[in-house]
Amino acid sequence: MIELTIYSNGKPRAIRVPGHSLTIGRGKDCDFRIDSLTISRRHAILTEAGGELVLAELETANPLQVNGRCPAQFPLALSPEDTIHIGGVLLFARLVKTDTDPVAAPSRTPIWPRVAGVAVGTALCLILFGFFHIQPPAKATSAIPVRVPSAEPVQVVPPVDPLPTDNLPQPAGTTEFNLLAPPATMIPAAKTAMYQSMTEDQKREFVRRQAQRIARMIGNRDCAFEPAVVSRIKSDVDSYLRRKGNGSEQLWGEDLERLLQRVGTRYAGEIIRSFHEEKVPPVIGLYLAMIETEYHECLTSPVGAQGMFQFMPDTARGYGLDPQERCDWKKSARAAARYMKARMNQFGTDATSVSLAIAGYNRGPGSVMRDLETVQDATHRERSFWALVAQSERLDHYFQQENIRYVPKFFAAAIIGETPWAFGLSAQPLSTCQ
């Protein structure tokens, strides 16, 4: 059985669909129909293969994105933590193991074939098949063949942890998923904050897993997060959460709910488009702006950096931005995308290297390269930001006081901004805003 958790307008809905494959699109012959012009008639297919859930494209001109990026090739095996964007719709998918399959169980029952032989078993299966009127899943003849939960409200556990099998109703009825008019069974965001109810050990594990997910969104390979690094990221997550519900509008203290809502409605869509144009993962731009200025359009630093992305005059010129226009946040976003594209060309596109590129946005790429040369020797060959953190005592005061906090804060901001429901926030994940 395949389970989907779909997010639209920041609200999740969980469905379970029996079977071993699931087609997604706006055509009436799809197993899961999404009524949106951004979705192709037959957009994608999910298939169970060797115990894994595999995603493949079908007839689409609008590329699938996994973890905010367009994969180099399909089919692609998914993990339960992977995010899938289909024409602006965010969803998670996973396999659910069940003892019985509502569609296939009668044909798999092994008792009679073992007792009476293949012929008798086959006959009995045919009799049972006719008696109960069991039919295979409808395709083109069924107008809308998606099975959804009953209307009874269900609290959805975020997909980073396995969804429980005992509190979701079995599929019943059929419907379609209309983005313009969400169905009545749309599940509201959880009223209780999952993260805040965890133990400290559970919080650290949650942060570690979410940091790995963010790493997959910014780079093309996973990277490991040591306990000391996880603790740094968690500290910044907790710092952000202390601002939840404080009612403030002040810079660096703004109510977290208000901040995310403001970003999602005004800024996120344009930043996503700007970074997409440069083929840079949009989550980089979304959370650089968060940690640089918290989306204040014309903030000026004591050293002269200005604008939402804090460009110095010479750096702005180098990336096509008139220094007098640094407070134009849209032009500033495009320049930031070009800057990060150059840094990723310099450091690399795997998650470990992109973390160095993010550090370079704050410290300057030349300084980061010198830092790497300083800490690398015969016994320390790792080339990563986390290696710099581990040997920070060998680096200068600026790294120890400022840069060492910059990348962990980026990950913390991204964890909150991409999984707001886990913290009892009603905002939509920023990377899904349009």
The interaxial angle of helices 351-363 and 200-218, nearest 10 deg, is: 90
Q: 152 and 229, same structural domain?
A: no
Q: Are 362 and 409 in contact (CB under 8 A)?
A: no
β-pair type (146-148, 172-175): antiparallel
Q: Which residues form the domain of 333?
A: 195-432
On whether residue 227 sits in a domain, the answer given is yes
On whether residue 393 sits in a domain, the answer given is yes
Q: Token match 């600026």: residue? A: 398
Q: 307 and 174, same structural domain?
A: no
pLDDT at position 162 is 33
On whether residue 129 sits in a domain, the answer given is no
Q: 259 and 224, same structural domain?
A: yes
What is the H or E stretch that residue 344 is in? helix 329-347
Q: 170 and 95, same structural domain?
A: yes
CA dist 5 and 195 (Å) reads: 19
Q: What is the residue-level pLDDT of the chain in tens, covering all 434 positions?
A: 888 888 755 567 777 777 778 888 888 888 888 777 667 788 888 888 777 888 888 876 667 788 877 777 788 888 877 888 886 677 888 887 765 444 433 334 443 444 344 444 445 545 544 544 444 444 333 333 333 333 333 333 333 333 333 333 333 333 344 333 333 333 334 334 689 889 999 999 999 989 988 998 998 777 788 898 999 999 999 999 999 999 999 999 999 999 999 999 999 999 999 999 999 999 999 999 999 999 999 999 999 999 999 999 999 999 999 999 999 999 999 999 999 999 999 999 988 899 999 999 998 999 999 898 888 875 666 788 888 888 888 898 888 888 889 999 999 999 999 989 889 898 889 998 87
Of 151, 178, 205, the last residue of a domain is 178
On whether residue 105 sits in a domain, the answer given is no
Residue 285 belongs to a domain with what CATH number? 1.10.530.10
Of 116, 147, 178, the last residue of a domain is 178
pLDDT at position 105 is 38
CA dist 153 and 67 (Å) reads: 28
CA dist 234 and 123 (Å) reads: 61
Q: 268 and 377, same structural domain?
A: yes
Tokens for 209, please give them: 């897993």
On whether residue 269 sits in a domain, the answer given is yes
pTM recorded for the entire structure: 0.64
Tokens for 373, please give them: 């040369």
Residue 173 belongs to a domain with what CATH number? 2.60.200.20
pLDDT at position 84 is 86
Which residues 6+ apart lie within 8 Å of 370 measured at CB? none
On whether residue 160 sits in a domain, the answer given is yes
Of 143, 178, 213, the last residue of a domain is 178
Q: 254 and 141, same structural domain?
A: no
Query: How many domains does the chain fold into?
Result: 2
Within 10 angstroms of residue 389's Cβ, the number of other Cβ atoms is 22
Please provide residue 178's backbone torsions phi and psi, each rounded to the nearest 5 degrees.
Answer: -100, 115
pLDDT at position 75 is 82
Q: 213 and 169, same structural domain?
A: no
Please provide residue 373's backbone torsions phi and psi, each rounded to the nearest 5 degrees.
Answer: -65, -35
Q: 148 and 71, same structural domain?
A: yes
On whether residue 323 sits in a domain, the answer given is yes
On whether residue 55 sits in a domain, the answer given is yes
